[in-house]
Structures are given as C-alpha cells and as structure tokens.
Amino acid sequence: LLLLFLMSLSPYLTPLLLLLVIVGGSFAAAGECTIESQIASGNFQQRLHDLEDIARANAGNRAAGTSGYQKSVDYVTSVLEKYTNYTVTVQSFPFQEWYMKTTPSLKQLLPFDQTFAYGTDFSVMRGATFDGTVKSRVIVVANKGCKSSDYPKEVSGNIAIIERNDCGFKEKVAFAVEAGAVGVVIVNVDGGPITSRVGYPTIPVMSLSAEIGKAIILEASTGDVVLSMELSSISITRETYNIIADMPGGDPNNVMLIGSHLDSVPAGPGINDNGSGTTTNLEIALAFSKCLADPKLGVRFAWWGAEELGLLGSTHYVENLKKNDPAELKRIALNVNLDMIASPNFVYFIYNGVTAPEPIRDGSARIQTLFQKAMESLGEDPASSAM
C-alpha cells in the first residue's frame, strides 16, 4: 500500500489534479470536458453550504453516530448515484461512543494535599471507561513505558506514571494494564495535559501537564506520592458508515484510492475539517465520471466515518480486507488522503516519502516526486517545505 498524506494544500487544486491525471489516465477531449474546466465549474461553495445546513439542522454537527452524519452519508451517496455510474457501497461498522458522565477529579494526597484543575492541569484520556475513585501510590515507569520490562512489579495495585513519546498511548496503557496498574497518568513532555485516545481500558487514564507531571515523577522517585483519581465514564457501541465508490474500467489489479473523512467533531459542522476534503473528493469523482475516458488504474473513492474518533472508518476498511479479502488489499497501489485543504493560510507541504516505513517507502518516495514535479511546473518550490 503506497501512502501519501496531504496537509494544508492551497484551495487551488491544480497540483493535486495534475497528479491524478498522471496516475489516472487521459481525459476525454470532447468539447470543454477537461479536468480544469470541470473542477473550475464545480459546486464547491454550494456543497460546503449544504454540509453546513445539514449540521445546523442536526444539533450543529455531523459527528459519527449522529443524525447529522447520517444525513451527510445520504447527501454524498445521492450525488454519486445521480451523476455517476459508479458502484456505490455503504459499509457499516461498529464503534465505541465514549463520554464522561460527571466532571473528573485528580488530587494529590501525599506528601501534601493538592487539587489539580481539570482542563488546565490534567485531562482524561479518551476511551478510559471507569466509574469510581482510585486512591493509590504512584509508581514511576522507566524508559517511557514502551516495553513490558519497563514496568516494575510495584506497578501492580498502584498508579503507573509514564512520560509521553517513543511509543503510542494505547501501547503504554496496555502494558500498564498487563502489569496490574489500577490507574495510569501520562505526563506531557512540554506544555499542558494531553487529550488522546487510549483504546477502552477499564481503569482511569489521565494526563498531567509537563510542569506538574515532572514534579510528581521527581517526588515519586525519592518518596511516596499518593494520588486520587475520580472518573465516571461510559462507552456505548454504536454504528456508523463508510462510503466506497468504484469507477468502471481501469486496471483492477492497480487501484488508486482517493479518500477523505466525512465526519466532523461534535463541537461544530466541520466545514474545513473535513467538509473541504469531502467536497473536493466529491467534485473530483464527478469530474472523473464525466471526463475520464480511459483510466490507467482502477479508481476508487472513499468517504470515511469516525475519523475524528481515531481513524476508525479507514482502519475498519483495511482490517476488513485483511481478514476477508487480502488479495483486494494488495491491489490498492496508491492512497491519496484529502483532509483540511481549505485553510486560508495555506502552504504547499509534501510529506517526505523517504521517511515512510520500509514496506511503503519506495512507492511513497515516487509519489512525492510526482507531487514535486507537478508543483514545480506551476512555479512552486515544495522541496523547501518537504516534511
């Protein structure tokens, strides 16, 4: 699977579209049916307004599991079914909806009393499902807790405190649970507390700011520190959806997948994040349907669900293929991800394909080169901003 993720692209989509032409094939020369004319005449603004109207009519958002998201799915599928001859599939998958029932609490009881401010001093890591209070000793985990051997036997029955970085939060928490921890505190390396997903452990998992967390680590390294963690949270299994649209023709053994997440955060309608990617993906799909006469590759479009909850929709798609159709997964030659591409303070950034994991490094580097050539043809110099 060759991966390239785009970030903060200009609202002018020509570099992206040039890449799609290069890998997608030739466009019909009938009248004004060109990629440029179709995109230029696209309904970007109207579609963004449509998504905002959906959100406003549905509690102000289009988050996974909500009526706003269902209406967004209906909107995209209806446009595809009306204006293209693509095979459109709505793929359902379960996800865990997590929320806190009450405001959490974190206090230090020893060597002195101290109450930490929620949101400023500490936060709760999303997914940790627990109802009650844990009062226990703090045990410092070595080496940022990325191996099971980093967790001393004293972690069992106590609260593990772990510094951020070197591995994922889920991994750290899983090791702590395996070691018998009754609670986990993640310490940021700089700045305030972190809010991120940690799977669905059944112990409280919180994060401390760098200043407070490092002070506690120092105290716990030389004496007893006791914390009180109070959390009342719940996780409910819900259903949400991906949309997959396959274009006829092209090489079925080499598929270009163009994806974007369809859901918003609960706090708003998600017009830049990711209405911009959603509508761009939709307009490209319409232009391809009308003008792409002879695609070299198979072309597949995807709108992912529950991205804001941790890339759940795209992960489900890949894991489902791994389990049920691994040959189909191997046929995907290229993935382009459209996310937040309408930022007014845009810059041209290209992820450095050379730094990609080994299985996808060669392909990612080749894709990076294609983007660079496309941008350079327009007088841009993306090399200086390669990441």
Tell me how far apart the alpha carbons of residues 6 and 382 are, in angstroms, rounded to a whole number.
Answer: 12
Q: What are the angstrom distances between the C-alpha of 11 and each of 17, 278, 342?
A: 12, 13, 5
Residues β-bridged to residue 5: 337
Query: What is residue 3's predicted lDDT score, i.e. its pLDDT?
Result: 34
Query: What is residue 358's predicted lDDT score, i.e. its pLDDT?
Result: 87
Tell me how far apart the alpha carbons of residues 177 and 67 are, in angstroms, rounded to a whole number.
Answer: 36
Low-confidence spans in the chain with pLDDT less than 50: 1-12, 15, 30, 384-387
pLDDT of 326-364, one tens digit each? 999 999 998 889 999 887 787 777 778 888 888 888 888
Question: In 3-81, which ranges are E strands?
Answer: 3-7, 25-27
Q: What three-state secondary structure class fits 160? A: strand
Catalytic-role residue among 230, 283, 307, 308: 307
Query: What is residue 1's predicted lDDT score, i.e. its pLDDT?
Result: 30
Q: Is 230 a catalytic residue?
A: no
Tell me how far apart the alpha carbons of residues 125 and 140 are, in angstroms, rounded to a whole number.
Answer: 19
Tell me how far apart the alpha carbons of residues 350 and 356 are, in angstroms, rounded to a whole number.
Answer: 12
Query: What is residue 32's predicted lDDT score, i.e. its pLDDT?
Result: 59
Reading the block at residue 67, the tokens are 């009526």
- Number of alpha helices (DSSP H) and beta strands (DSSP E) in the chain: 10, 16
Q: Cα 46 from chain centroid?
A: 26
Query: What is residue 11's predicted lDDT score, i.e. its pLDDT?
Result: 41
pTM over 0.85: no
* HSE toward the beta carbon, residue 252, CA cutoff 13 A: 5
